[in-house]
Structure 1
Amino acid sequence: SLSSILITQFKEASVGLQLATELGTLALLANIFREMMALLGTPLIRKYFGKLAPISAAGVNSMDVLLPSITHYSGKDMIPVAIFHGILIDMSVPFFVSLFCSL
């Protein structure tokens, strides 16, 4: 994912290559696990937390990989929201990663 690459690049100078690589790997694994939980848990997330919850849980993947699942469980009226959410998150990643890596 983009965040794992950016974290590795931003943190390499301050913590060294080894730790920066570990942080990037951890970010990638967190993204993979979140996506798998959103993919497999969409019916339960929708049932217990509402129509918008699967979109939130999907993150940037709400506009591509998880869009069919979101459409199936939250309804076709959620397609524009899911796509907008995915684009907004995708565009904000470089800003937020650089902000938090500079802290």
Structure 2
Amino acid sequence: MSRDTHPGVQCPHCQSHLALVPVPGNSAAAPVPVPPAPLKEEWQPPPVADVLAVYAGRVKDAATATRGAAKVRESMGRAKAAAAQRRTAQKSARRTPKSA
């Protein structure tokens, strides 16, 4: 049995069922009936802050979390600006005028 007609073709990473569809305009591809794939439930874990708050016996404070996130963003912005300035200084130091 070929892979094209096998009803159990799955993605090797997420194991979701794949439907092989013939390409329009390709006369060699014969339409093959594809069984309906079962719906996969999309589950995502809860945010880490919520889980850690439960283990620490605390309530997640949105205001404190927002302030903390703003501080982190500001610190990252300063670090990026300093890195860009450092790269510019290094480039200009490498471009010394050549003497004749």
Greater relative contact order (CA < 8 Å, ≥ 6 in sequence) = 1
Q: Fold-level match, TM-score > 0.5?
A: no
**Structure 2 length normalisation: TM-score?**
0.28
**Structure 1 length normalisation: TM-score?**
0.27
Larger radius of gyration: 2
